[in-house]
Amino acid sequence: MNARAYAFALLKEICIDEGYSNLLLRNKLQSVDPKDKALVTQIVYGTLQNYRLVRYQWQSYVKKEPCKEVALLLDMSVYQLLYMDKMPAYAVIDEAVRITKKNIHPRFSALVNAVLRQVERNGKRELEGNAIEQLALETSHPTWLVAMWKAQYGWQECEKICHSDLEIRKQCVRVNTMKASVEELLASGEFAKGSLAEDALYYLGNDIIHSNYYKQGLISIQDEVSQLVAQYVDPQPQERILDVCSAPGTKACHIAERMGDKGSIVCGDIHAHRVELIKNGARRLQLQSIQAQVMDATSLKEIEGEMFDRVLCDVPCSGYGVLARKSDIKYHAKSTDMDTLIPLQQQILQSASKHVVKDGILVYSTCTLNKKENEKQVAAFLAQHEEFECLQQQTIFPYTHHSDGFYIAKLKRVR
C-alpha cells in the first residue's frame, strides 16, 4: 500500500469509524515504509486540521454531497493540491482516482476526477460569511465553538485560540526526577527546556516511545501544561492522595514522583481495562505508591469512609484545549456534547469533595476551554459548599506557551 492509500485508510478509521488519531498514528505508522512516514503523517494531520476548509474548497462543484468515503477522499486530495508544497497535481488526482476504484467503487471515479480537476483549475475559493463564519472556515472549527469562545473570552482571544490549534506541537516529556534530573537530560543535547512546568522538556528527536529514555523510565510523555496539575496538587511525602479519574495514570505517576514515591495514591477508573493502563505506567516507572482500582467517580462507594490529604478531579471534558494535538475532536464535536459532560463533572466534584480532610486540598482540572465546564463549574460548587474556598484558579490558553489549553482550580477545605 502506497503512502496516499495508507493515509486514506487511516483517515477512514479516524473520521468514519471514530478512532483516536494520536493512537492510530502511533501504532500503525510502525508498519509504513520509513520513507513514507512523514508524508502519511502530514496528509492525515493536515486533512484533519483543515477539514472544514478543504471541504469548502470542493463543495460548490457537486450538486449533492457524496458518500462519506468519497467526501473524505476529496478532502484529503484537496489538502494535497492546495495546501502542500511540491505536490504534483497529476500525481494527486491519478492516485485519488485509483483509490476510488480500488477502495470505494469504480462508479465514483469520474466524479472524483472531475471535482479535483475543477479545484486544480480554479484554485482556492474566497471565504464567505460573517467574521465568525470566516474564522471558523479558515481554521476549521465548528462555527458554534468559535461563537462560544468569542462570547466567553472575547474576539482577540478567540482568534488566537483558533490559529494556535493549527500549529504543529513539539513533543513534550516529563522527567522522572526519581531517576534523572532535568539538567542531566539537557546535557545529552537531545532535549530543550520547557517554559512553564518544572519537570518539562521538549524532545528534539523522533519516536520518543522507542528511545532508551522512555524504556528505562527516565521520562513520560505529557504536555507541559498538563504537568502543572501535579504542581497544583503539591503532594508531600507520606500523604494519602486520591485521583478519581486517573486513567491512563499520567498525572498520578507525576504526583508519585513529586512525593518521592513515599505515601499512597489511590487511583481509579470506571473501566477495568483502563485501570490496567495505570498499573502498567506505574510498573514502567517502578512506582510503588500507586494503588489502582476500579471505581465509579460519581459515587466512590468503593472507598466509602476513606479520607485523603489531597484529592484530584481531572474530570472527563469536551477537550477543546487539545485540538492542535487531537484534531479528530473538532471533527466529531457537537454543541450538545457538554449537555451530558457538565452534570457528570458536577457529580464527580461533589462526590470527591466528601473525601477531603479538614485543611486538605481539592484540585479540579480539565483540558478544555469552556467556562461552563471550568470557572462556572467551580463557582457553582463553592456556592453550595461553604466549607471550601478557592486558593487559586487559572486558565492557560494554548497560544501562550504553544501547549495544550487547560483549566486548573485549587480548593481548600477550611472546615
CATH 2.60.120.10 fits 224-413, yes or no: no
Residues composing the chain: 415
Is 404 annotated to bind a ligand? Reply is no
Residue 300 region, left (φ>0) first, then alpha (ψ -120 to 50), else beta?
left
pLDDT in tens, 33-69: 888 888 999 999 999 999 999 999 999 999 999 999 9
**Separation in Å, CA 348 to CA 66, 245, 381:** 43, 9, 11
pLDDT of residue 207: 82
pLDDT in tens, 85-96: 888 999 999 999
pLDDT in tens, 112-169: 999 999 999 999 999 999 999 999 999 999 999 999 999 999 999 999 999 999 998 9
Terminal-to-terminal C-alpha distance of the chain: 64
Task: Decide: helix, strand or coil at residue 199.
Answer: coil
Give the single-character DSSP code of 265.
Answer: E
pLDDT of residue 24: 82
Q: State mean pLDDT over 73-97.
A: 95
Identify the residue whose cell numbers are 505506567.
281
Is 261 annotated to bind a ligand? Reply is no
Q: Is 142 exposed, middle or buried (0-12, 13-18, 19+ CB in 10 A)?
A: middle
E strands present in 274-355: 290-294, 308-314
- Own/partner contacts of 180-188, CB < 8 Å, gap of 24 or more, are 180/218, 180/219, 185/213, 185/218, 185/219
User: Which of the following is catalytic: 158, 313, 317, 367?
Assistant: 367
- Fold category of 3-122 in CATH: N-utilizing Substance Protein B Homolog; Chain A (1.10.940)
Is 314 annotated to bind a ligand? Reply is yes
- To 5 degrees, how large is the angle CA 333–CA 22–CA 29? 140
The ranges assigned to domains in the chain are 3-122, 139-165, 224-413
Q: What is the 3-state secondary structure (H, E, C) of 98-149?
A: HHHHHHHCHHHHHHHHHHHHHHHHHCCCCCCCCHHHHHHHHHCCCHHHHHHH
Active site residue 367: yes
Q: Is the whole-model pTM more than 0.85?
A: yes
